[in-house]
Structure 1
Amino acid sequence: MKPTPGKLAGLKAVSDSRGVVAAAAMDQRGSLQKSIGANRGGEATGDDLVVFKELVTKVLTRYASAILLDPEYGLPASRMRNDAGLLLAYEKTGYDANTAGRLPDLLDVWSVRRLKEAGADCVKILLYYTPYEDARVNDLKHAWIERIGDECRYHDIPFFMEPIGYDENGKGEKTLEYARKKPSVVTKTMEEFGKERYGIDILKVEVPVEMGFVSGTTSFKGEAAYTREQAAQLFRDAESATDKPFIYLSAGVTNPVFIETLALAGESGTKFSGVLCGRATWFDGIKIYAQQGAPAFEAWLNTVGVENIKNVNEALKVATPWYKKMGFNSMEELG
């Protein structure tokens, strides 16, 4: 189906000339503030978040098709983009830890209309989701996404949806047990949110494996959940769950691990349409910013940060334009 004029304009705005999303993610809030404070040995403020986001945006958007920011601390940074598109996050950071099921919430004083007025080319929503959660909890989440999808349809702006899997039993996501379960979590989630009822344009998904548990890779840590060949098949299985274009998130892994992940995705023949890559490009700079200040962090970004994002861009040569996932052969066909 051909995107509507507003959705098409938004998708083009956040893509490179090939129709691949080569975007940087800088919408972290609570976790970023904690990390800066921990590395400083004290507290981090909202001003720290504003400055950190400004510097990442100023430097990395020279090499990115777009940047994902939040409207709480990221709007000053949005004005420092270098000819890059803008995605804005609509959800509150984190989740309600006092309620079972990791229920989401929207930012109190924001709406899709307001995000668009603030300059967003696309709207992004993160949702903690597992198909193995209590059905009543997931019903709430489904309805929540339906509402946002309708809001984005009304305002004719692309909807990027980011489901993050978790262990519904509370045992954590770093275990061998969860690594074995993750492929089905990711695949079933992509199948669910690929349905037209949700109005999602691009799925921003986790890769369906934990690279530290893939034998035959340099990321392997010694305990195997799958072989390299099995992992490649799991990438293909996840892709087959939906016709929607999808991009990968970096999920907090290091730059070398993320590059190897994208190489494995390409090796498997998976037709992913890009990335929204955050911590794999700038995470190691948190310590620099916290301990040495903004000028040192900017210098780090201009060297190591730029090298990191260039590595990601090189790995994206195997990506498939989102318009091909929609059944079109060229951007020109879309008008």
Structure 2
Amino acid sequence: MLKLTPAKKEALKRLSTKDGVISALAIDQRGSLKKMIASDVKGDPEEEIVNFKVTVSEELTKYASSILLDPEYGLPAAAARDKDAGLLLAYEKTGYDATTPGRLPDVLEDWSVRRLKEKGADAVKFLLYYDIDEDVHINHLKHVFIERLGSECVAEDIPFFLELVSYDAKNADANSAEYAKVKPHKVIDMMKEFSKEQYHVDVLKMEVPVNMKYVEGFADGEVVYTKAEAAAYFKTQSEATDLPFIFLSAGVTAELFQQTLVFAKEAGSTFNGVLCGRATWKNGVKPFAAEGDKAGRQWLQTQGKSNIDALNEVLYKTATPWYSKVTD
């Protein structure tokens, strides 16, 4: 069970529905969003990233329990969010240095947990790329780094959300069938590692433990896992931690993500919500960039709202309140 201070508990409540489920919208993308916008936008891509985040925040936080943004482009969107929506702010530098082995993490150099909190953050989120099988020294550096961040969040008495994204240092293609075969081990074992008390993590933001595109009944081509095998991995993942954990959408379609949550629930996973990004708003980028704010808003008010309403309906039936994993 996770022990929370009164301040952290109140902050988590602000990020959740009244039932204790985290129904959060993620739009802390920077480099990837710039690429998506730059191919169609007529104006300055830097300005349009800010404007798109504001538009998404204004239109969709009415239907989300909270929003995840970055302090580089997202502070105007934070100010524009619905009054009842909580705020998570990202602390990591976008991307990683591809020339250096290990995908080593780094924080935004002109920010601190204290400064993020002063900007209104209810929680701090950090993204870590992690390969449980990588060189021991590289993983040692990552362990120490996350210990440092956890201690910083403890000092500021603010919840620490750790987003873990697995990879294989020997196989760059995370969408391949070969990677799908080792993904359950990669995801579940890194979850066990960062559930240790030394990291002071309050909520884990996790990938699902399989690539659903290779699951029997979901696959268009090659099948890597039977439905029973995939279900067992979801159950094992859930049992790998005592911490609250939420799922990230990893850029899959809204429909597949919703189907995945139903599958997870049926498999016995006690996940506590989602931080869902591209699955909700990705297809709104093109009309916004190519045709302007009005077209972007129209997409968000129709298809974007439909996506988030459908997700919320699924969450209501599948997610477990985080209260059940917390002790005073």
TM-score (norm 1): 0.95
Q: Confirm or deny that 1:167 pairs with 2:165.
A: no
CA distance in 1, matches of 2:25, 2:198: 28
Deviations 1:278-329 (A, max 9, x none): 00000011111121111100110000000000111011021111110225xx
SS at match of 1:261: helix
1:44 Cα offset (Å):
5.4
The residue identity in structure 2 corresponding to 1:102 is R
1:146/1:197 contact within 8 Å kept: yes
Deviations 1:147-196 (A, max 9, x none): 00000000000000001011211431010010011101110011000001
Structure 1 CA distance for aligned equivalents of residues 224 and 185 of structure 2: 13
Displacement after TM superposition at 1:43 (Å): 8.0
Native 8 Å contact 1:39 1:286 kept in 2:
no
Once the two structures are superposed, residues 197-240 of structure 1 have per-residue CA deviations (whole angstroms, 9 ceiling, x without a partner) of: 000000000000101100123xx121111011211110001111
Counterpart residue type for residue 305 of structure 1? G
Alignment of 1:180-329 (within 5 A): 180-217=181-218, 220-317=219-316, 318-326=318-326
**Distance in 1 of aligned mates of 2:9 and 2:38:** 40
Q: List per-residue Cα deviations over 1:61-97 (Å, max 9, x = no partner).
A: 0000000000000000001111200000000100111
Give the match's secondary structure for 1:104.
Answer: coil
Which amino acid letter does the alignment assign opposite residue 67 of structure 2?
I
Aligned length: 325
Looking at structure 2, the residues matched to 276 and 3 of structure 1 have their Cα atoms a distance apart, in angstroms, of 21
1:80 aligns with 2:103: no
Give, in whole Å, the separation in 2 of the partners of 1:233 and 1:251.
21
Report SS of the residue matched to 2:3: coil
SS at match of 1:209: coil
Separation in 1, partners of 2:50, 2:255: 27
> Which residue matches 1:107?
108
Q: Structure 1: which amino acid aligns with 2:133? A: Y
Give yes or no for contact 1:207–1:248 (8 Å, CA) kept in 2.
yes
Unaligned regions of 5+ residues in structure 2, if any? Answer: none
Structure 1's unaligned 5+ residue stretches are: 328-333
Q: Partners in 1 of 2:271 and 2:237 — Cα distance?
A: 11
**Letter of the structure 2 residue corresponding to residue 65 of structure 1:** S
Higher RCO (CA < 8 A, seq sep 6+): 2
Q: Which amino acid aligns with 2:77?
A: A
Kept in 1, the 8 Å contact 2:37–2:45? The answer is: no
Moved over 3 A (4+): none
Equivalent AA in structure 2 for residue 60 of structure 1: L
Distance 2:297 2:235 in 1: 39
Cα RMSD (Å): 1.2
Q: What is the correspondence of 1:15-54 to structure 2 with a 5 Å cutoff?
A: 15-40=16-41, 45-54=45-54
What is the distance in 2 between the residues matched to 1:38 and 1:180?
A: 35
Tell me the equivalent position of 2:57: 57
Which deviates the most, 298-307 or 44-53?
Answer: 44-53
Distance 1:44 1:252, change over 3 A: farther
CA contact (8 A) 2:171 2:179 kept: no
Equivalent pairs: percent with the same residue?
Answer: 54
Instruction: Report the TM-score when normalising by structure 2.
Output: 0.97
Question: Given residue 59 of structure 1, which amino acid in structure 2 is its aligned partner?
Answer: E
Distance 2:146 2:77 in 1: 27
Distance 1:75 1:86 in 2: 10
- Kindly indicate whether the alpha-carbon contact (under 8 Å) linking 1:5 and 1:156 is maintained by their aligned counterparts in 2: no
